[in-house]
Amino acid sequence: TLARYVYGQDALFEPGTSWYYSNTNYTLLGMVIETAMEMPLAEAYRLNIYEPLGMESTFLDCYEDPVVDVVNGYTGFGDTLSDLTNLHESRGWAAGGLVSTAPDLVTFARGLFSGELFDDPQSLETMTTAAPGLPSGLGIFIQPDYLGHSGFIAGFRSVLNYAPEFDTVVVILYNNDVADPEQSLSNVMSPVFSLLNAQD
């Protein structure tokens, strides 16, 4: 299993000295959630996130029935794109297997960054506090003007960011995996920030 494989590998560095983004860590986190809550990950998401926030268009692909239609996903370059719709996305699971819509993701961002999802306010503070010398907290990338995360899986790219100063959420979704959501976000947010700052 994945857990056995990872357990047998040497660490890349001493804990607390550096960082390295890895989908494997999210997969292991999904396994921890399932063990701690004694239920499948899809059910844990639904009971603790979707239902409390009223998210009705989000599901864990390949692990529960679709609740919305899913667009085709593409990969390739230039005019040569391949349709990856029939690719089995179960490999994403806790590391990238969610299917959602922009409105649901805005709802999620507001629930997350308002602290509504947490019993302990310290949880949100820990997630949104950058580790020394790192551009991220726990699962949240931290930029000067916004907090968020981008996503990638074969055929799809996404980015979700929240600008606390303006209480603004931006979600960009692509049905191809060659787009650059971070650049698109910058293209969208830079003029918006300029306008909002000019109004102060």
CATH no. for residue 143? 3.40.710.10
* Mean pLDDT over each residue of the chain, to the nearest integer: 88
Rg of the chain over CA atoms, in angstroms?
A: 18
pLDDT at 144 over 90: no
**CA-to-CA distance for 158 and 143, rounded, in angstroms?**
17
Q: Give 11-33 pLDDT, tens digit per residue.
A: 888 887 777 888 888 998 999 99
Residue 57 pLDDT grade (very low, low, confident, very high; cuts 50, 70, 90): very high
Query: What does the block give as tokens for 120?
Result: 């302990």
Q: CA geometry: angle at 182 spanning 95 and 85, to 5°?
A: 50
Question: For position 10, what pLDDT does the model report?
Answer: 86
Q: Which letter, b or e, does each residue of 111-150 get, where b requires 16 or more Cβ atoms within 10 Å of its Cβ?
A: bbbeeeeeeeeeebeebbeeeeeeebbeebbbeebbbbee
Per-residue pLDDT at 18: 77
Instruction: Compare 78 and 45 and report the one with higher pLDDT.
Output: 45
Q: Are 39 and 30 spatial neighbours (Cβ–Cβ below 8 Å)?
A: no
Number of domains comprising the chain: 1
In this model, does residue 103 exceed pLDDT 90?
yes
Least confident range from 1-5, 113-117, 138-142, 151-155: namely 1-5
Looking at residue 164, what DSSP letter applies? G
pLDDT tops 80 at residue 59: yes
- In 12-131, at which residue ranges do the beta strands (DSSP E only) sit? 59-60, 74-77, 80-83, 98-99
Q: Tokens standing for 13?
A: 């560095």
CA distance 117 to 50: 10
Domain ranges, residue 43: 2-199
